[in-house]
Chains A and B, each alone.
Chain A
Amino acid sequence: MLVSKLARQLMAPVAAIALALGGAFPTAWADNDEIVLGGSIPMTGPFAFAGLQFDRGLRDYVEWINRQGGIEGRTLRYVGEDTGYQQDQSVAVFRRITSRENVNFYFGDSTAFQQTINRELDRRDILMTGASFASELNDPERYPLQFLLGPDYSEQVGILLSYIAEESPGARVAFIHSDTEFGRDPIAPGRSKAEELGLTVAATIVTPPGAADISSAALELRRARPDYAIFHGYVLAPIPDFIQRARQMGMNTRFMGTYYTMDQGIINEMGEAADGFMGVMPYRYYYDETGPAPIMDAIRELHGDYQTTTYTQGWLTGVLITEIARETLRAGKPFTGSNLRETLDSLSDIDTGGIFGQPVNFRGNSIPLGRIYRADVSQGQMVPVSDWIELE
């Protein structure tokens, strides 16, 4: 009893000091010479293949830019935590990081999270980007404090369709998508865009999420006999299976994919089926050395072996927030989310150091620019088959 009373007496002042310090801590720690990028990063779970690369890319970029003297003399600091690709975890990580740090920019890991946290962003005045290319996020009215790291999914499909219309006017196109929010995203706009470009939509084939066997869907595809088939809403399965079956059925359809299907590692997993597979990619591949690209050179200098496009996406995040932060500081504006957004809107012809093949401009919240690449299995690489295509 006596001991506990003594302990309480001793603890009281300690607790008081701790409380006082704790209260003072965030502001004292919010170093004015620092710019903080927080991140809910899916380093485990089904999206870990990309999450681990975002994390590495962001870390490497931050180290690199700080070696160059930071952003207008300020240090960039990255604080990322694992979410397991669970929305509640992503929110918990966001709360934890934003309550501990004076966060200026944030990297989100999924469409669901980026939608959920939107109000909170407004409240905390933080500018966010992330892994999602959802068309819904490309709306500056509803998502004023978010931007995408390339074309949204509808624009990606739009770029593919523009390429098709150019290559084979009037071609028959099929859409194959998973029955998920991700899968459905670009389908309706894609169909209208196809009609607008004078293409025929031969079929829209839906596969249930996690479908093991797509035998009947493949038969449906054969019946539609499209010249091109665009996959969306998948990472790997069931794309190789569709392609193999189509070949076995003697079809000459050319298959295409969107950003997350287009990484080299995934293409490698497809084996022979990958040959001739095409898709839209907003960023230069690691081994694409056409044209000057100082940022890609820096990546190649840092790593002698292939780096994924999701790793490059981490660097692009860094490049864009550096540009936004730099211009805001130069204009002498306070470092709030709304001011950062204002700067983003004022930027034009942004130089991404060659990650994109030409200077980029935001339209709404996205950058509708990409290039068509084709898998060449004999070279083991994705080779460009079009110039950079920018949607109006």
Chain B
Amino acid sequence: MDWLFFFEITLAGLGTGGLYALTAIAFVLIYKATRVINLAIGEMLMVGAYLFFGAAVGWALPWWLAIILALLGGGALGMVLERGVIRPLLGENPISVFMVTIGLGSILIGMVELIWTANPRSLPNFFPTDPIFIGEAFLAPKTFWSFVVAAVVIAVFLLLFRFWRGGVALRATASDQGAAYSMGINVPAVYSLAWGLAGVIAAGAGILLGSIGGISSDMGLFGLTVLVVVIVGGLDSVLGALLAGLLIGWMESMAGVYLGGEYEHLVTFILLMVVLLFRPWGLFGTREIERL
């Protein structure tokens, strides 16, 4: 056993896992606050990456300004989707809302292809390019820096949930909508806030992901693995999303090297099946089951 190689693969897997965890948090945020299973999260991520591309390459803005614009754009998209599409469906059968989010995904892909065509693109590189060594183990700078950024963003959001008034309102709404209403919390505003924040996080994850592997209109497929992450972690658990993200990133990396790339997704979905069979509410989720 080559332990150095094993360690390198572990680091690489955790790097990918950081991005899964980040996107999963956007998913959990929406689910916790609004009980909507948003299957368009991958496409929201893709739109964020394209907004960055449009600002940085199309308008030739400096990368930091392009990132700010893309994050704001992602947030605005989340809020518009909530206000325009999701809120009118409040009280409808969850399966209807679920189906609407699938449709939303298609519409977002169509919009992106109309504006930017379906051609694959590369994002301008804004990460330092010097190789990173942890001991003797090599870590690609993009993977390292995107992991660092994802970790910082996740930490900031966790602090916001804990201490910020909006975050507290969000948690209150998530645990009991009726009680939150009666305490004077503006629940519709909390819904908007949840979708807006999720949009910002998704856009951020999209920029990170796009800067690693390039962007294309089908990069929303990433959302499929994120769905597995949140189901494994527990749909409404931020901690679950974090740990399951890292776990699945690591497992895919291991499977890819020791079994072959064709087994990466197989391993992920086997884990999904096992969790659904023995612990359908996920590793850390609330123990209630809603059948769709």
Residues in chain A within 8 A of chain B (CB atoms): 44-49, 179, 205-208, 210-220, 222-223, 235-238, 240-241, 244-245, 248-249, 265, 269-271
Which of B77-85, B180-188, B228-236, B256-264 has 4 or more CB atoms under 8 Å from chain A? Answer: B256-264
> Are A213 and B15 within 8 A (Cβ)?
yes
Q: What are the interface flags for B211-236 relative to A under an 8 Å C-beta threshold, 1 for contact and 0 otherwise?
A: 01110111101100000000000000
Q: What are the interface flags for B7-24 relative to A under an 8 Å C-beta threshold, 1 for contact and 0 otherwise?
A: 011001101100100000
* Of the residues A207, A213, A269, A271, contact of B16 by C-beta under 8 Å: A213
> Are A211 and B261 within 8 A (Cβ)?
yes
> Are B257 and A237 within 8 A (Cβ)?
no
8 inter-chain pairs at a CB distance below 8 angstroms, sorted by A residue, are A206-B260, A213-B16, A223-B5, A238-B214, A241-B142, A241-B214, A245-B140, A269-B122
* Of the residues A215, A223, A235, contact of B253 by C-beta under 8 Å: A215
In the complex, the chain B residue whose C-beta lies closest to that of A51 is B118
Q: How large is the interface on B (under 10, 10 to 19, 20 to 34, 35 or more residues)?
A: 35 or more
A211 to B15, CA, bound (A): 14
Contacts beyond the supplied A215-B253, A248-B141, A249-B138: 11 A-B pairs with Cβ under 8 Å: A45-B113, A46-B218, A47-B118, A49-B117, A211-B264, A219-B9, A236-B122, A241-B214, A245-B140, A265-B119, A269-B121
A210 to B260, CA, bound (A): 15
Cβ of B120 under 8 Å from chain A: yes
Cβ of B131 under 8 Å from chain A: yes
A212 to B175, CA, bound (A): 35
> Are A215 and B119 within 8 A (Cβ)?
no
> Are B214 and A237 within 8 A (Cβ)?
yes
> Are B9 and A241 within 8 A (Cβ)?
no
Cβ of B247 under 8 Å from chain A: no
> Are B262 and A237 within 8 A (Cβ)?
no
> Are B218 and A240 within 8 A (Cβ)?
no
> Are B113 and A215 within 8 A (Cβ)?
no
Cβ of B34 under 8 Å from chain A: no
> Are A240 and B140 within 8 A (Cβ)?
no
Q: What are the interface flags for B249-290 relative to A under an 8 Å C-beta threshold, 1 for contact and 0 otherwise?
A: 000111011001110110000000000000000000000000
> Are B119 and A49 within 8 A (Cβ)?
yes
Nearest CB of A to B222, in Å: 5
Chain B residues near A265 (CB-CB < 8 A): 119
Nearest CB of A to B197, in Å: 23
Chain B residues near A208 (CB-CB < 8 A): 256, 261-262, 264-265
A219 to B260, CA, bound (A): 13
A46 to B219, CA, bound (A): 11
Chain B residues near A214 (CB-CB < 8 A): 213
Chain B residues near A210 (CB-CB < 8 A): 218-219, 221-222
Chain A residues near B131 (CB-CB < 8 A): 248-249
Cβ of B173 under 8 Å from chain A: no
> Are B120 and A236 within 8 A (Cβ)?
yes
Cβ of B129 under 8 Å from chain A: yes
> Are A236 and B214 within 8 A (Cβ)?
yes
> Are B9 and A44 within 8 A (Cβ)?
no
> Are A216 and B13 within 8 A (Cβ)?
yes
A249 to B139, CA, bound (A): 9
> Are A179 and B261 within 8 A (Cβ)?
yes
> Are A235 and B120 within 8 A (Cβ)?
yes
Nearest CB of B to A233, in Å: 11
> Are B118 and A212 within 8 A (Cβ)?
no
> Are B120 and A219 within 8 A (Cβ)?
no
Chain B residues near A220 (CB-CB < 8 A): 256-257
> Are A219 and B15 within 8 A (Cβ)?
no
* Of the residues B16, B253, B262, contact of A212 by C-beta under 8 Å: B16
> Are A218 and B262 within 8 A (Cβ)?
no
Nearest CB of A to B125, in Å: 8
Nearest CB of B to A48, in Å: 5
> Are B219 and A212 within 8 A (Cβ)?
yes
Contacts A206-B261, A219-B5, A248-B131 given; does A212 touch B122 at CB 8 Å = no
Contacts A245-B140, A249-B131 given; does A45 touch B118 at CB 8 Å = yes
Nearest CB of B to A309, in Å: 15
Tell which of A207, A208, A240 has the most Cβ of chain B within 10 Å: A208
Contacts A49-B117, A179-B262, A210-B221 given; does A216 touch B122 at CB 8 Å = no
> Are B261 and A207 within 8 A (Cβ)?
yes
Contacts A44-B113, A217-B256 given; does A241 touch B138 at CB 8 Å = no
> Are A215 and B122 within 8 A (Cβ)?
no
A233 to B27, CA, bound (A): 31
Nearest CB of A to B98, in Å: 22
A218 to B141, CA, bound (A): 13
A270 to B124, CA, bound (A): 10
Contacts A48-B118, A213-B19 given; does A237 touch B261 at CB 8 Å = no
> Are A212 and B261 within 8 A (Cβ)?
no
Contacts A236-B122, A240-B214, A270-B122 given; does A205 touch B16 at CB 8 Å = no
Cβ of B44 under 8 Å from chain A: no
